[in-house]
Structure 1
Amino acid sequence: MDAQQPVRRRTQRERKEATVTRLLDATIAAIAEAGYAGTSVGEVCARSGVSRGGLFRHFGSRLDLVVAAAERVAAHHLEAAADHLAAAPPSDLRAALEWMRGRHRDRENVVWFELMVAARTDAALRARLSPVAERFFTDITRLARRVPALDDFPDETLHLLVSSARNLLDGETISRTLVPEPAVEDARLDFLADFAQFLAVRRTRVSVGGA
């Protein structure tokens, strides 16, 4: 019989990382289900099994915790997009937009909607979240460069297209909870793909005209 292997004890760093992960996962779940206002420290502690003292050993305030959760959601979104583009590059722009829509409707992404709405009237949240959102949106545009149909778009044109698609799909995700319009939603992807083609043609005409 093989001798029983001793159980390796986790390092202090591993224990800290595990606790932080539990707290962030609980915060994300709470915001997605109960909204920003309903995500209290007590709610996060109850969901994570971490005491209030344990929470404040890792985060100085509720705001620190919420911003860290937003950063985690952004990182997950970007990782998923990068993995998708590496494993199965979209066959065309419409396919890329359809995948992008799926990410916007992902349960975890709801956290961004909740926080953006809350930031409108919460100055402290707005000040902390704005640079996080700016980096997130910049990284999304940078990833879009990997879509074959977009790889030669000028930076300003790519930004216009990606930001327009992002804002449209954000609004669609929110409004469809009250008034779903499947046919219109499907046509919207065609509209966005056509918009990209318009930008591509316009870019070519400007380039030729300026030559």
Structure 2
Amino acid sequence: MTDPAEATPPRRRTQRERREATVGKLVDATIAAISEVGYARASVQEICRRAGVSHGGLFRHFETRLDLVVAAAEEVGRRLAANFWEQVGPVAERGATPHEVLRAIRAACRSPLNLVWFEVLVAARTDAPLRARLAPTVDALGEEIYLTALRIPAVAAQPVETRQAVVSSVLHIFDGETFANAVRPGHDLDEKRLEVAASLYRVPVAGD
């Protein structure tokens, strides 16, 4: 006797589901292409090849390559924000030392996705349309990271007037380190940079 479950044909995906699946493939392919061959070589042809989508299929969902790149950057921003807390949250919540928290922040900054983010930002420096389109995403990621950092006791304990500057400075140290190491690794200064980053955090005393 035939099992009714085996006799039931698989449900056909809706048009919306098919569209979302194709868009997801294109966004993932764009992120992978920028990561592996760089922004300049992440052409429409390269992206379509990786996604298994025709040129016509791409342009049915995105009017231009710029639209696709912006969508990919937005997704990278979302993933970076999530990765930041995944790396730092468990360490911060168990009452780790500032040095341990900073090591976790460094690990978050060393995500391969951060290099994709840098690639797009560098391209935006001389590409005015890309720069304008990315501005809201850059602002949103910065705000999300800062609000997430406030959940770290060592950060929340900092004076309000310097807290955001300290968070930004630490991130810039580790971001720059990540970018430089991708070109020419120089890990001999890693521990010294960690000490410099730790020195930015002062422990408030009574009366501060």
Check whether TM > 0.5: yes
Decide which moves more: 37-46 or 175-184.
175-184
Q: Describe the superposition over 1:60-108 as per-residue Cα deviations: whole angstroms up to 9, x where unpaired.
A: 2111110111110110111223344555535122222212222222222
Give the structure 2 partner of residue 118 of structure 1: 123
Q: Are the structure 2 counterparts of residues 33 and 12 from structure 1 closer, same or farther at C-alpha, using a change threshold of 3 Å?
A: same
Aligned partners of 1:41 and 1:62 also within 8 Å: yes
Q: Describe the superposition over 1:23-66 as per-residue Cα deviations: whole angstroms up to 9, x where unpaired.
A: 00000011111111111111111110111111112112111110
Separation (CA, whole Å) in 2 of partners of 1:113 and 1:156: 28
TM-score (structure 2 length as normaliser): 0.88
Aligned partners of 2:91 and 2:101 also within 8 Å: no
Q: How do 1:116-155 and structure 2 match up within 5 A? A: 116-155=121-160
**How far apart are 1:116 and its partner, in Å?**
1.3
| Number of residue pairs the alignment of both structures matches | 203
Q: Which amino acid aligns with 1:35?
A: G
Q: Describe the superposition over 1:109-154 as per-residue Cα deviations: whole angstroms up to 9, x where unpaired.
A: 2111111111111111111112211111111011001112222335
Decide which moves more: 83-92 or 110-119.
83-92
Q: Are the structure 2 counterparts of residues 156 and 33 from structure 1 closer, same or farther at C-alpha, using a change threshold of 3 Å?
A: farther
% identical equivalent positions: 45
Separation (CA, whole Å) in 1 of partners of 2:86 and 2:111: 16
Q: Are the structure 2 counterparts of residues 116 and 156 from structure 1 closer, same or farther at C-alpha, using a change threshold of 3 Å?
A: farther
Name which of 95, 103, 112 aligns with 1:98.
103
User: What's the Cα RMSD here?
Assistant: 2.0
Secondary structure of the 1:196 match is coil
Q: How do 1:61-76 and structure 2 match up within 5 A? A: 61-76=64-79
Aligned partners of 1:59 and 1:65 also within 8 Å: yes
Aligned partners of 1:141 and 1:158 also within 8 Å: no
Separation (CA, whole Å) in 1 of partners of 2:37 and 2:141: 24
Separation (CA, whole Å) in 2 of partners of 1:88 and 1:14: 38
Aligned partners of 2:91 and 2:100 also within 8 Å: no
**Structure 2, unaligned runs of 5 or more:** none
Aligned partners of 2:87 and 2:107 also within 8 Å: no
Aligned partners of 2:31 and 2:116 also within 8 Å: yes
Q: Are the structure 2 counterparts of residues 54 and 156 from structure 1 closer, same or farther at C-alpha, using a change threshold of 3 Å?
A: farther
Secondary structure of the 2:92 match is coil
Name which of 176, 179, 192 aligns with 1:174.
179
Q: Are the structure 2 counterparts of residues 112 and 131 from structure 1 closer, same or farther at C-alpha, using a change threshold of 3 Å?
A: same
